[in-house]
């Protein structure tokens, strides 16, 4: 049997796209391998949200030159967000002529046909569409996990935060039909999935532009009673669109997890304005307090960018201040990376790299100490954990998550527990995870 290897960079949206690529490859008769050397087709699904993600991709493509020399029939395909940027596809063709196929984010479903075209061509086949209004349903999919599934509910983004390349490479916002989502989730439940994560760049604006009158809270209500699905997660939420209805849905719907990923990006209203985020520090704080009041025990996680152009010490102190006030459970922190084609790229006053790193380290220290304190509150408590599989950090332990999204390593090797929600007593809290025993 012919074999395929896929490497994925970037967000969960890309992960789901790669699961679709796997589904199509399987339907074409390929089986997966985790060893590039034995693959007949290698796919790199790329990300361009920060420069370092792009550099890694170039390094990985370059490293395939020798393999292709030894194995001339090897198909090398490069796809994803990076390919949607101007000149990138052409540059890759010039610099790495051994790449067989380049395609973008809007024609993923045409992958089998594109592979055939590439196999019959001596030159690199390039097909990158500028945009697409179409949502293609029914693409086969092979998922990484058999317990939890990613389900994209909307594509693209209309927000144009000034630092962000995503709207430029993923196009305008498009919501899937609610019935298609309900059907997919039902099918997932039927084959044993217990948890779904609804994906979109900004799930709070789900439903805009659909003929049917529905918002994100309404979609959660539709999905909440799916028999067999015990947990519903979602990401990402933009603070400017977080509705009262969504807060009530999180409070009232029993299967919706008590966790929200609510990127703040900066604590300085001045910087938030420059970022085109359309909320103030005070508005964000207000939202966080409302969430904590209405959904007791909720965990709030976030994304923060350090060193946006023009960020002063004062602005950065505002970020530290809101982190202390909200007490985030955890955060993804990023050094600002200038992306060509975005408005922030042209701002002259870039922050000095050393200062950026200093601020970054200070922020991470603060987040870690708050994260540990929040995790300590779980010690000696009994929590419900959905067991996902074997622990990555400990042999002979299983791992799972609380409904608040905390990773728990559970002291048992009883694999029959995988896919079940069990009671676990937390025995030890660490900064990034909890340890516990089944009770
Ligand atoms: N530089 C650094 N971080 C970025 N993000 C998006 N664009 C950039 C950039 N140019 C971060 C944001 C976003 C997350 C997915 O990536 O914090 O929420
Ligand atoms: Fe990028 Fe902003 Fe859209 Fe998120 S909401 S994808 S940060 S433009």
Instruction: Give a yes or no: residue 377 inside a domain.
Output: no
Q: How far apart are CA 291 and CA 266, in angstroms?
A: 19
Domain boundary (237, 257, 277) is at 257
Say whether both 17 and 111 belong to one domain.
yes
Q: Are residues 84 and 151 in the same domain?
A: no
Q: What's the 422 CA to ligand 1 centre distance in angstroms?
A: 36
Ligand 2 neighbour 81 (Cβ under 6 A): no
Q: Are residues 78 and 188 in the same domain?
A: no
Has residue 334 been placed in a domain? Answer: no
One domain, residues 32 and 101: yes
Are 397 and 409 in contact by the 8 Å Cβ rule? The answer is: yes
Q: Report if residue 165 sits inside a domain.
A: yes
CATH number of the domain at 233, please.
3.30.750.210
Give the pLDDT confidence score for residue 133 in this predicted structure: 85
> Scanning the structure block, which residue is given the tokens 């790199």?
44
Number of Cβ within a 10 Å radius of residue 109: 17
Segments in 309-376 forming alpha helices (H): 313-326, 353-376
What's the pTM value of the predicted model, to 2 decimals?
Answer: 0.96
Report the CATH number at residue 99. Answer: 3.40.50.12160
Report, in angstroms and rounded to the nearest whole number, the Rg of the chain calculated over CA atoms: 22
Any domain includes 287: no
Closest listed ligand to the CA of 266: 1
Q: Tell me, yes or no, whether 86 and 38 share the same domain.
A: yes
pLDDT in tens, 150-181: 999 999 999 999 999 999 999 999 999 999 99
Residues of the chain with pLDDT under 50: none
Q: Which atom of ligand 2 is nearest to the CA of 238?
A: 5
Identify whether residues 251 and 190 lie together within a single domain: yes
Check residue 96 and give its pLDDT.
Answer: 97
Residue 278 lies in a domain: no
Q: Which ligand is nearest to the CA of 11?
A: 1
Distance between CA atoms of residues 262 and 93, nearest Å: 39
Chain length of the chain: 439
Q: Please check whether residue 263 lies inside any domain of the structure.
A: no
Answer yes or no: do 164 and 97 share one domain: no
Q: Are residues 112 and 149 in the same domain?
A: no
- The pLDDT tens digits for 263-311 are 999 999 999 999 999 999 999 999 999 999 999 999 999 999 999 999 9
**257 in a labelled binding site:** no
Q: In terms of Cα–Cα distance, which of 250, 248, 253, 264 is closest to 305?
A: 264
In whole angstroms, what is the distance from residue 98 CA to residue 72 CA?
A: 9
Pocket test for ligand 2, best of 162, 164, 171 (most atoms within 8 A of CB): 164
Predicted local confidence at residue 395, as pLDDT: 87
Q: Ligand 2: distance of its center to the CA of 165 in Å?
A: 8
In contact, 380 and 426? CB cutoff 8 Å: yes
Nearest to 115, CA basis, from 56, 27, 239: 27
State which H helix or E strand residue 131 sits in.
none
Residue nearest atom 5 in ligand 2 by C-alpha distance: 159
Cα separation, 144 vs 185, whole angstroms: 16
Q: What is the pLDDT of residue 323?
A: 98
Residue 106: is it exposed, middle or buried by C-beta count within 10 angstroms (0-12/13-18/19+)?
buried
Say whether both 167 and 91 belong to one domain. Answer: no
Same domain? For 76 and 115 the reply is yes
Domain range for 409? 382-438
In a domain, 327, yes or no: no
Q: Domain of 429: which CATH number?
A: 2.40.50.140
Query: Is 48 flagged in the annotation as binding?
Result: no
The domain tally of the chain equals: 3
Domain boundary among 200, 226, 257: 257
Residue with tokens 């998922």: 143
| Ligand 2 close to Cβ of residue 238 (< 6 A) | yes
The two counts, helices (H) then strands (E), for the chain are: 13, 19
Ligand nearest the Cα atom of residue 241: 2
**Residue for token digits 């001339």?**
72
Mutate to test the pocket of ligand 1, among 163, 274, 360 (most ligand atoms within 8 A of CB): 163
Rounded Cα distance, 348 and 239, in Å: 28
Burial 368-393 (b: 16+ CB within 10 A, else e): eebbeebbeebeeeebebbbbeebee
Which H or E element spans position 218?
helix 216-224
Q: Is the CB of 159 under 6 A from ligand 2?
A: yes
Do 159 and 240 reside in the same domain of the chain? yes
Domain termination site, one of 208, 229, 257:
257
Per-residue pLDDT of 81-125, as tens digits, reads: 999 999 999 999 999 999 999 999 999 999 999 999 999 999 999
Main-chain dihedrals φ then ψ at residue 126, nearest 5 degrees: -120, 125
- Does residue 245 sit in the same domain as residue 157? yes
Q: Is the CB of 166 under 6 A from ligand 2?
A: yes
- Residue 393 forms part of a structural domain: yes
């Amino acid at each position: 049997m012919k074999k395929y290897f896929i490497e994925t960079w970037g967000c969960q949206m890309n992960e789901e796209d790669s699961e679709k690529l796997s589904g199509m490859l399987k339907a074409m008769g390929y089986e997966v391998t985790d060893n590039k050397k034995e693959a007949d087709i290698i796919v790199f699904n790329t990300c361009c949200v920060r420069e370092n993600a792009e550099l890694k991709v170039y390094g990985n493509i370059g490293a395939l030159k020798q393999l292709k020399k030894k194995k001339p029939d090897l198909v090398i395909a490069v796809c994803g967000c990076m390919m949607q940027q101007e000149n990138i596809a052409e540059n890759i063709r010039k610099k790495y002529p051994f790449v067989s196929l380049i395609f973008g984010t809007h024609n993923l479903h045409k992958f089998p046909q594109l592979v055939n075209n590439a196999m019959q061509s001596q030159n690199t086949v390039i097909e990158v569409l500028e945009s697409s209004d179409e949502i293609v349903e029914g693409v086969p999919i092979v998922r990484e996990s058999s317990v939890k599934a990613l389900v994209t509910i909307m594509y693209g983004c209309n927000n144009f935060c000034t630092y962000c390349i995503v709207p430029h490479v993923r196009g305008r916002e498009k919501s899937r039909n609610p019935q298609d989502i309900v059907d997919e989730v039902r099918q997932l439940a039927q084959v044993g999935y217990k948890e779904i994560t609804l994906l979109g760049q900004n799930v709070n604006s789900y439903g805009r532009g659909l003929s049917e009158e529905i918002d994100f809270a309404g979609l959660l209500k539709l999905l909440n009673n799916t028999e067999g699905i015990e947990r519903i997660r979602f990401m990402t939420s933009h603070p400017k669109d977080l509705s009262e209805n969504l807060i009530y849905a999180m409070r009232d719907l029993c299967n919706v997890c008590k966790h929200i990923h609510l990127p703040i990006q900066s604590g300085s209203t001045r910087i938030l304005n420059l970022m085109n985020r359309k909320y103030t520090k005070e508005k964000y704080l207000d939202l966080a307090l409302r969430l904590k009041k209405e959904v007791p025990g909720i965990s709030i996680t976030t994304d923060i960018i350090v060193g946006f152009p023009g960020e002063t010490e004062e602005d950065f102190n505002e970020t530290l201040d809101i982190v202390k006030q909200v007490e985030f459970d955890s955060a993804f922190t990023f050094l600002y990376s200038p992306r060509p084609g975005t408005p922030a790229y042209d701002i002259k006053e870039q922050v000095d790299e050393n200062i950026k790193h200093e601020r970054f380290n200070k922020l991470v220290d603060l987040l870690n100490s708050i994260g540990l304190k929040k995790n300590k509150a779980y010690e000696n408590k009994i929590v419900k954990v959905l067991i996902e599989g074997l622990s990555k950090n400990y042999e002979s332990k299983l791992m799972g998550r609380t409904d608040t999204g905390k990773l728990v390593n559970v002291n048992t090797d009883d694999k029959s527990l995988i896919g079940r929600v069990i009671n676990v007593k937390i025995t030890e809290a660490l900064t990034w995870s909890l340890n516990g025993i089944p009770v």
